[in-house]
Amino acid sequence: MGKWMQSATAKVLGIGVLALLMTIPLLKVSGLVTERLAMRTQAIAQIAQGWGGAQVLGGPVLVIPTRRLVAPEGQAPQWRAGSETVLADTLHVDTTLATSTRQYGIYSAPVFVATTKLQAAFRAADLAQFRTASDAAWQGGKAELRLPVADLRGLQQVDELTVNGKPVRFESSAERFGSWPVVVVPIDLDALGNQSIDVAITLKLAGTESMQLLPLARSTDVTMRAPWRDPGFTGAALPLERDIGPDGFSAHWHLLDLNRSYGQHWDERDEGVARALSSSDFGVQLYQPVDVYQRNVRAGKYGLLFIAMTFVVFFLFEVLKRLRVHPVQYLLVGMALATFYVVLLALSEQIGFGPAYAVAAAAVALIVGGYAAAVLRARRAGGLLGGVVALTYAMLYGLIAAEQYALLVGALVLLVTVALLMYLTRRIDWYAHTPALGEAPAAIMERP
């Protein structure tokens, strides 16, 4: 049993167990990344609280109070109050985002001020048609134009607000449009008679990270531009045209009522409209060019693989050079490799991912190389092992930077590594110090 414990096979199994033990600190580091990411999320929430959160802006909609005659069974007929909503025929939105970055402690978030011009037109023919088709009596004198805004704290200024060319003012309201708060403009449909309604709005809206719009018209045209080089177009519709360059981006959307799952007119009893509205927004997400936490997560995914690869290199030196390395020494090397991820996370929050990666990788390569030179009693072997560690981290950085091709590059690197290990270990006698097949143990053969 003692001889078997000294065999190459036993050594490999022991190294495998040590490599698996290193998943414990790697999991702790992964939890630390998650914790720091949660702290960043809280910091962004603090920025949004004072500036304005992720914004969703709709076009003006017309909401008309109604009275419906109902006759409950066994009761006298009675009037029940309600409301109906009518969307515009056309909506044109032109918005320009002035972007910047706000700090909260060591964390930052992209913020913007959107200067937005909205022009909406309600056709008189649509209003007459919906009024005739309704099973309720419209109270046109109490109608409202409502403008949904996700976070009213970000509404900095209203430069223009006209209805049929006449200036009006927004009023606050406790009402909501879907899941969003609104500002309102009272309007008298009865006084307008058979006129169409043209609404023009120019406002400034502050927000954090995201600017989304709602297609609240039969035909919706949106143009958006910003000096931000890393936009992410998200939501229910992608832009028909977009131009992304070093000076920023511009994009154009065009949506029809046929592209969404709700119509031009509904009453408050339609419960499915609110869900449909929430899934119809579209717009842009201002991604930060370097997300250190995302890259730390990617680096951690390959942690066990590269610790195992370093252990294998150590083992090859031990076997091919006929040296002896104690399991505790393997464990110390593994701890140094696991410490790399903590150092990377801490430094990347301060100086950025690239410089932090270079510093952490160089430090670990020097530590492991110097320790290997002392353990293996050979400077050349220590320098070679340190070089292998540095090369390993260089490959890891390539995998992190590859993004879409990370799986392909990682698979090829793994294939080449396995092939190289098979080549270098082709002459190792894995049955060393163990009885050959069919050979009786020496203790048994010596019995009289």
Instruction: Tell me the pLDDT tens digit for each residue of 156-193.
Output: 999 999 999 999 999 998 889 988 999 999 999 988 88
How does strand 155-163 pair with strand 197-208? antiparallel
- The whole-number average pLDDT for the span 114-133 is 93
> Which residues, including other chains, have CB under 8 Å from residue 72's CB and lie 6 or more apart?
78
- The whole-number average pLDDT for the span 288-292 is 67
Round to whole Å and give the CA distance between 306 and 327: 18
The conformation of residue 149, written as its DSSP 8-state character, comes to: B
Q: Is the pLDDT of residue 443 over 60?
A: no
How does strand 241-245 pair with strand 265-267? unpaired
Q: How confident is the model at residue 8 (pLDDT cuts 50, 70, 90)?
A: low
pTM higher than the cut 0.75 = no
**Averaged pLDDT of the chain:** 82
- pLDDT score for 4: 43
On the 0-12 / 13-18 / 19+ scale of CB atoms within 10 A, 110 is: buried
Fill in the amino acid letter for 272: G
Tokens 């036993």 -> residue: 10
Round to whole Å and give the CA distance between 90 and 416: 60
Q: Which of 21-30, 48-57, 85-94, 394-403 has the highest mean pLDDT?
A: 85-94
- pLDDT score for 304: 76
Dihedral sign from CA coordinates of 97, 98, 102, 107: positive
- pLDDT score for 3: 47
- pLDDT score for 415: 80
Domain ranges of the chain: 2-39+293-424, 53-289
Orientation angle between helical segments 303-320 and 8-21, nearest 10 degrees: 150
Round to whole Å and give the CA distance between 6 and 324: 10
Closest CA to 201 of 185, 189, 187: 185
- The whole-number average pLDDT for the span 241-257 is 93
Least confident span in 59-73, 336-350, 393-407, 433-447: 433-447
pLDDT higher at 70 or 12: 70
Residue 112 has a CB neighbour count (10 Å cut-off) of 27
Q: What are phi and psi of 331, to 5 degrees?
A: -65, -40
Closest CA to 155 of 163, 147, 166: 147
Spell out the CATH class of 53-289.
Answer: mainly beta
With a pLDDT cut of 90, the percent of the chain lying above it is: 35
Dihedral sign from CA coordinates of 274, 115, 283, 222: positive
Which residue blocks in 212-291 are alpha helix, DSSP H? 272-278
* Burial track 205-244 (b if 16+ CB lie within 10 A, e otherwise): bbbbbbbbbbbbbbebbbbbbbebeebebebbbebeeeee
